[in-house]
Chains A and B, each alone.
Chain A
């Protein structure tokens, strides 16, 4: 079934990305997003709750309980197959956008910005 290809917000994108390899708790997602985006994208608690709630309703992520003894009480989020598909579609969409930019502006997009 083809998922409707709506663009993801940065927060949604990073949450799905952080969960790609393994399940994670909220704070972990926030820290990993900061690391991956080089400090540019920070997800606040209010945003995180809304985003995770929406994504759970859509079936992209689900809650799970940690099996590690040191974080038994921690609530973890994990990506579902559907969520994995959504993320992969989004990455392909973004790659398509970049490809178009490179066709028009050429490979040196960054140099253009610095020199112009």
Chain B
């Protein structure tokens, strides 16, 4: 009887390599992914098997049957598709597997095509982030610190600095990264999505404290 487990698997588009490595490590330990996601994934507990996992980002597939066939022919089992367009695959692990056998992209050009598709995705996502500078400006316009620094005020400013400032920096990193990429330079690495979410939570807490201090 295999046990079903759900785990948080928080990864941004730019970290899919880390996600694949994590899935492979989990498989070695007996947790087998059966339904992948960019936020949470379903696993089954099974020590008897071991898999090699892969992910492909393809939101639009011209011919789905042909796509599935090319993977199935090479031994990849299709798991699922996320709403965004990530596809999860796995194949049985063998001791003397070559590194190329664990990959689905085997030349530089096709990897660049994949990255191009990913960039379009997080250009769309980064438009959502435009919301944050506007929100921060609104927060600030509701008044600066009063003459006597009350605990709620202090809490507001602490949360604001811990939440809004890093998020603004990450947003700038995204923009600068885009510009560097277009001028042929390597973009600076982005922090992991878990860190983005941590700062977002701090900003939400800041918003709640703001509502309380304005009451």
Measuring CB to CB, which residues of chain A are less than 8 angstroms from any residue of chain B? Answer: 9-11, 25-27, 30, 42-53, 63, 75
Contacts and interface: CB of A to CB of B under 8 A. Distances in A.
A44 B73 CA distance: 11
Interface stretch (B96-104, B120-128, B207-215): B96-104
B69 A47 contact: no
Interface in B116-164: none
Nearest to A73: B69
Contacts of A48: 70
A30 B109 CA distance: 17
Contacts, number: 62
B98 to A, nearest CB: 8
Main secondary structure of the interface of B (DSSP, over half): helix
Interface residues of B, number: 24
Given A45-B104, A46-B106, A75-B69, 10 more contacts: A9-B107, A25-B73, A27-B73, A30-B74, A43-B107, A45-B76, A46-B105, A53-B62, A75-B65, A75-B66
B22 interface: no
Interface of B: 56, 62-63, 65-67, 69-71, 73-74, 76, 98, 100-101, 103-107, 109-110, 113-114
Nearest to A53: B62
